[in-house]
């Protein structure tokens, strides 16, 4: 228990507690150790505790529907994570994995009650960290449709795929055509008794036919590999276009809501002006407008 109390003293969240309070809290808090690469919890797992990092580093990330991994935050010693599921008793909204050998303090609801009773200011620290993660999540949602499909596909290319793309691009170029025309010309001239040397592949040029057939087979494989990558790029582009359309639809809906609100405020203002005019009250004697109601000339 003394070791746990010493660990609590090193964490800013518990640093303001007295030594006796830390000992009381240390008797309830569990200490867990994880190896590098260990998954502490995954997205959707039930959440009944938050964790404070004492040693090591923990990465919090999510995966979107296309399988792309997005890092939300790297939690270092003295920081905590998993507090949202502890507060609302909902499932985990991210995956936590140890980037290095990690030691954490596990804080459940009872431990949190003791902490807030002994140090009410700790609740503000907890809320500040929660707000920080909510802001990060909002930025992530706002930028979900700003991907470039070419960058997404390019990053996943292997060496074979890069070679296949280069060969497919080169085989469809004019230099490739001119090289083959020159090669065929020299081959045929060499084997039709025009020159005093050669004649290693007489007419009808069976060796040349075999070479061209093998080249066509090899090129077709590389072209098919490149086409498969093009299909993958088109799929990513379709997903991005769907995200863009969805984002635009949500923004248009938000604009409609703002216009409806402005229209409602305008109607209320006009109604107030009509009543005031009917009673012979000057416009300057009316109460000030509230909120962001649009200005209207009487």
Share of the chain above pLDDT 70, in %: 73
Residue 208 sits in the same domain as residue 133: no
In a domain, 263, yes or no: yes
Residue 53 bridge partners (DSSP): 104
**Is 285 part of any domain?**
no
Q: Do 80 and 50 meet the contact criterion of CB atoms below 8 Å apart?
A: yes
> Does one domain contain both 31 and 98?
yes
Name the packing angle between helices 174-190 and 206-279 (round to 10°): 170
Q: Are residues 60 and 176 in the same domain?
A: no
Higher pLDDT, 130 or 98: 98
Q: From CA 196, how far away is CA 189, in angstroms rounded?
A: 11
The model's pLDDT over 185-231, given as tens digits with 9 standing for 90+, comes to: 888 888 777 767 667 777 777 788 888 888 888 888 888 888 877 78
In 3-state terms, what secondary structure has residue 81? strand
253 and 273 housed in the same domain: yes
Strand, helix or coil at 143? coil
Judgement on whether residues 130 and 18 belong to the same structural domain of the protein: yes
Confidence grade of residue 152 (pLDDT, cut at 50, 70, 90):
low
Residues 10-35: tens digit of each pLDDT: 766 666 667 777 777 777 778 889 99
How much is the pLDDT for 98?
A: 93
Q: How far is CA 221 from CA 149, 152, 188, in A?
A: 24, 23, 27
Q: Cβ–Cβ contacts within 10 Å for residue 236, how many?
A: 20
Are 36 and 57 contained in the same domain? yes
Q: Is residue 254 assigned to a domain?
A: yes
Judge whether residue 176 has pLDDT over 70. Answer: yes
Whether 297 is in a domain gets the answer no
Boundary-marking domain end, from 142, 176, 198: 142
Q: What is the pLDDT of residue 64?
A: 64
- Strongest mean pLDDT among 7-11, 71-75, 98-102, 256-260: 98-102
The verdict on 116 and 158 lying in the same domain is no
Is 68 buried (19+), middle (13-18) or exposed (0-12) by CB count in 10 A?
middle
- Residue 223's domain comprises 149-278
Residue ranges with strand state E in the chain: 30-34, 39-41, 49-55, 58-63, 69-75, 80-81, 95-98, 102-108
Whether 96 and 185 share a structural domain:
no
Among 113, 142, 171, give the residue marking a domain's end: 142
DSSP state at residue 173 = S
Residue 250 is assigned to a structural domain of this protein: yes
116 shares a domain with 7:
yes
Q: Are residues 20 and 138 part of one domain?
A: yes
Domain tally for the chain? 2
Do 90 and 194 sit in the same domain of this protein?
no
Distance CA 228, CA 233 (A): 9
Task: Specify the pLDDT at position 150.
Answer: 57
Task: Evaluate whether residue 22 is within a structural domain.
Answer: yes
Whether 177 is in a domain gets the answer yes
CATH number at residue 31: 2.60.120.10
Say if residue 164 is in the same domain as residue 256: yes
Is 283 part of any domain? Answer: no
Of 107, 142, 177, the domain-final residue = 142
pTM, full prediction: 0.43
């Amino acid at each position: 228990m003394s070791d746990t109390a010493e660990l609590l003293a090193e964490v800013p969240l518990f640093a303001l507690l007295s030594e006796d309070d830390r000992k009381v809290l240390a008797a309830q808090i569990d200490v867990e150790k994880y190896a590098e690469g260990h998954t502490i919890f995954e997205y959707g797992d039930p959440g009944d505790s938050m964790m404070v990092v004492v040693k090591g580093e923990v990465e919090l990330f999510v995966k979107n529907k296309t399988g792309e991994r997005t890092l939300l935050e790297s939690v270092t010693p003295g920081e905590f994570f998993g507090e949202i599921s502890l507060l609302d008793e909902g499932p985990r909204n991210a995956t936590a994995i140890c980037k290095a050998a990690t030691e954490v303090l596990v804080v459940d609801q009872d431990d949190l009650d003791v902490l807030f009773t002994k140090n009410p200011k700790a609740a503000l620290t907890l809320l500040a960290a929660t707000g920080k993660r909510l802001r990060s999540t909002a930025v992530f949602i706002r930028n979900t449709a700003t991907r470039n499909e070419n960058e997404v596909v390019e990053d996943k290319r292997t060496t074979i795929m890069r070679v296949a793309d280069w060969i497919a691009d080169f085989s469809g170029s004019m230099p490739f055509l001119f090289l083959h025309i020159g090669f065929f010309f020299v081959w045929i001239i060499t084997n039709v008794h025009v020159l005093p040397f050669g004649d290693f592949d007489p007419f009808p040029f069976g060796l040349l036919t075999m070479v061209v057939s093998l080249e066509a087979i090899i090129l077709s494989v590389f072209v098919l590999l490149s086409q498969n990558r093009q299909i993958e790029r088109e799929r990513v582009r379709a997903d991005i276009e769907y995200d863009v359309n969805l984002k635009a639809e949500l923004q248009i809906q938000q604009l409609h809501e703002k216009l409806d609100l402005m229209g409602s405020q305008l109607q209320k203002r006009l109604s107030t002006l009509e009543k005031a005019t009917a009673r012979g009250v000057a416009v300057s004697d009316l109460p000030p407008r509230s909120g962001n109601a649009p200005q209207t000339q009487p």
